[in-house]
Chain A
Amino acid sequence: MSIQSTAAPVRAEVVVDAPIERAFTVFTEGMNEWWPASHHILEAELADMVFEPWAGGGIIDKGIDGSECRWARVLVYEPPERVTFSWDISLNWKHEPDPEATSEVEIRFTAETSTRTRVELEHRNIERHGAGWEAMRDAVDSEGGWQGGLDLFAQHLRR
């Protein structure tokens, strides 16, 4: 069995017709307006998503039943140019309490003109989840956990 020790980061970018300050604010504090509604980690339906705009803050999913999950830690908050947060979500789309098994997402904002902004996203250290994936596979003998995780994964792909 081979385990990759490092993985290339996932990168994506988009150019938006909005000033850099607005792009930054919509991405962070306005996250609940654009985040894909199907992707959250609560059992209950999502009521709100709160981005705490400071280093040391978090990103919190709030369910309609009052449940909450703080699934990210804001690591760097430098408006309007850079924000970095941890991705404390495990492979089976549950909260990951162990920071060693989490990845991180960095977003950089660059003003191309006064009304146009380039947004570059890098999701890195994803192999840390991979290690967890391996451990989970070894610990759980097929059926329940492992296959359950895969089913969930396939389910999310379908959305």
Chain B
Amino acid sequence: MAYVSLPHEAGGFAALGDGTRRAIFEMVAERARSVGELAGDLPVSRPAVSQHLKVLKEAGLVRDRAAGARRIYELDHDGVGALRSYLDQFWNQALAGFKAAAERQEEHP
């Protein structure tokens, strides 16, 4: 496995490192949803979904708003958090590929 360090500000990328959290993020990116809706479509408890949403919110990826008695979660359009996360993820993946290519050529010049 290639060594690729995560920068300190890679909060968004780290937040998407967890499979369940990524699934939640993708569902929220598709359309705004409540905790109950998310928990209903995933094999995890409501408190677990809430905890994942808290991490995503702190990473600037999602935001919440009140809708009656419920809280609805949606993608954070205002910030560039989502884009940063995407690029964090992209470059870490790309650099791992670059490392493999650079070292492969070194072995077989």
Hey, which chain B residues are within 8 Å of A26, CB to CB? 98, 101-102, 105
Q: Which residue of A lies closest to B93 (CB)?
A: A36
Known interface pairs A10-B87, A153-B86, A154-B29; A17-B106 also in contact (CB < 8 Å): yes
Contact B86 A157, beta carbon cutoff 8 Å: yes
Complex CA gap A15/B103 in Å reads 10
Binary CB contact string for chain B from 92 to 104 against chain A (1 if under 8 A, 0 otherwise):
1111111111110
Contact A2 B78, beta carbon cutoff 8 Å: yes
Hey, which chain B residues are within 8 Å of A115, CB to CB? 106
Is A54's beta carbon under 8 Å from chain B?
A: no
Complex CA gap A117/B77 in Å reads 38
Binary CB contact string for chain A from 12 to 56 against chain B (1 if under 8 A, 0 otherwise):
111111110011001100100111100100000000000000000
Interface size on B, residues (CB 8 A): 42
Among A2, A36, A115, which residue has the most Cβ atoms of chain B within 10 A? A36
Complex CA gap A74/B38 in Å reads 44
Smallest CB separation, B98 vs chain A (Å): 5
Q: Which residue of B lies closest to A31 (CB)?
A: B98
Complex CA gap A26/B100 in Å reads 10
Selected from A15, A16, A34, the residue in CB contact (under 8 A) with B94 is A34
Contact B98 A14, beta carbon cutoff 8 Å: yes
Known A123-B91, A154-B26; 17 more pairs at CB < 8 Å: A1-B78, A4-B79, A7-B84, A10-B7, A10-B91, A11-B7, A13-B7, A14-B99, A15-B99, A18-B102, A18-B103, A36-B94, A126-B80, A133-B80, A153-B82, A156-B86, A157-B29
Interfacial residues, chain A to chain B (CB-CB below 8 A): 1-4, 7-8, 10-19, 22-23, 26-27, 30, 33-36, 39, 91, 115, 117, 119, 121, 123, 126-127, 129-130, 133-134, 137, 150-151, 153-154, 156-158
